Amino acid sequence: MSADETTTVTGAPTPADGTPSGTTVQETPTTAAEAVEAAAAQAAPESAEAKQVARDLSFVEGRVGVPKPDAILTVDGVQRRFGGMTAVDVDHLEVQRGAITALIGPNGAGKTTLFNLLTGFDQPNQGQWQFDGRSIAGKSGAAVARAGMVRTFQLTKALNRLTVLQNMLLAQPKHPGERFWLSWLPFTWAAQERAATEKALEILARFKLDTKKDDFAGSLSGGQRKLLEMARALMTDPTMIMLDEPMAGVNPALVQSLLGHVQALRDEGMTVLFVEHDMHAVRHISDWVVVMAEGRVVAEGPPETVMQDQAVVDAYLGAHHDTDLGDDSLLDPAVLARLEAEDKGQTEREERKR
Ligand SMILES: Nc1ncnc2c1ncn2[C@@H]1O[C@H](COP(=O)(O)OP(=O)(O)OP(=O)(O)O)[C@@H](O)[C@H]1O
């Protein structure tokens, strides 16, 4: 896409689709490929810190388990078995502070299980990991979130029946209404509730969801639901945010907005680790890509090199057997439409299971 097909809106208010202000917005992208291309035009890090992270990573060799200049998360010997099947077997992995790291791999590679383990929603058979210099292995999800690492969840049926604002308030750490002793101090409770509501509305405004605060979460579009998932995670003021398939089921017109939001988090100094099947998104916004297959990390490196790696292509053969993930053939709308249909089918299956 050429530069003259875009409109620069630097300094303009955030547009209605929730795209962060100060970014370059493509006029009505019609396919996910166009939307991602448009996002790529603004993919360069904005803040000095993000530029420094990109520079630091440019000196790191692309090989499995490579040390990072400033790792915020270090994983050692983590294994999770289900019966006789080893879902996760990660020897050593480091995640660079302040970077966007993508975790990719075919269905069943162990990405979600690793997310669950690291964030305290599952327990490993063995292994250690450190976050920001502290061991958080074996801690509960709430304790991990308090330490500064938080993951997004796809909205469940129960959350769909709550309003957008109620969803935000439930996501705040240690909801005061749930604490027995505070229930005896109504003034404290009310003050904290007011502060939490203000904070929730501020975050919702950032994602252009404030006008939807009283709508049921179930009435939101796919893209708006993804924004709400991200907004909920920000209620805990995380240092690191783990996004579970942020692009799944999202209308192409909103992909650009979502990518812009992920980049904005990084530019504010947050570390982002995200699981994603959309290879365009991965290629265009990631500083670093980690590839899993059959529970193991099989490759890692910068997006432009790791996605040409034979191990990566092999890892995907089962899932997208006739798709070359390493070149721009993926920008072909027909290929994209098929991948999107596969993703949509998967989302619908998961929805039915819930
Ligand atoms: N609770 C469980 N009980 C038994 N097996 C499980 C459980 N959770 C995950 N698995 C298995 O572990 C393996 C890894 O699954 P996981 O969901 O982590 O993969 P994934 O890479 O996230 O896949 P996808 O991209 O499809 O979400 C799969 O074979 C899956 O069937």
- 8 Å CB contact between 101 and 95: yes
CB-based burial of residue 194 (10 Å sphere; 0-12 exposed, 13-18 middle, 19+ buried)? exposed
315 or 172, which is more confident? Answer: 172
Beta carbons within 10 angstroms of residue 305's beta carbon? 13
pLDDT tier at 136, thresholds 50, 70, 90: very high
Of 86, 104, 112, which is best to mutate to test ligand 1, by the most ligand atoms within 8 angstroms of its C-beta?
112
Where does the chain hold its CATH 3.40.50.300 domain(s)? 46-148+238-251+266-353, 149-237
**DSSP state, 216?**
B
pLDDT tier at 183, thresholds 50, 70, 90: low
What number is the ipTM of this complex? Answer: 0.97
Q: What are the tens digits of pLDDT across the range 289-311?
A: 999 999 999 999 999 888 877 77
What's the 248 CA to ligand 1 centre distance in angstroms? 17
Q: Does the pTM exceed 0.95?
A: no
- Taking the C-alpha atoms of residue 9 and residue 14, their distance in angstroms, rounded to an integer, is 9
pLDDT tier at 11, thresholds 50, 70, 90: very low
Atom of ligand 1 nearest to the CA of 295: 14
Residue 227 tokens read as 């924004």
- By residue count, the chain amounts to 354
Q: Cβ(281) to ligand 1 under 6 A?
A: no
Strands of the 71-82 sheet, one edge to the other:
85-96, 71-82, 126-131, 134-135
What's the 119 CA to ligand 1 centre distance in angstroms? 16
Residue 282, pLDDT above cutoff 60? yes
What's the 347 CA to ligand 1 centre distance in angstroms? 15
Atom of ligand 1 nearest to the CA of 105: 21
Fold of 46-148+238-251+266-353: Rossmann fold (3.40.50)
Whose CA is closest to atom 31 on ligand 1?
Answer: 108
Q: What are the residues whose beta carbons fall under 8 Å from the beta carbon of 320, sequence distance 6 or more? A: 106, 339
Residue 72, classed as helix, strand or coil, is: strand
Write down the CATH number for the domain with range 149-237.
3.40.50.300
Average pLDDT of every residue of the chain: 80
Residue 18, pLDDT above cutoff 80? no
Q: Cβ(111) to ligand 1 under 6 A?
A: yes
Q: Cβ(108) to ligand 1 under 6 A?
A: yes
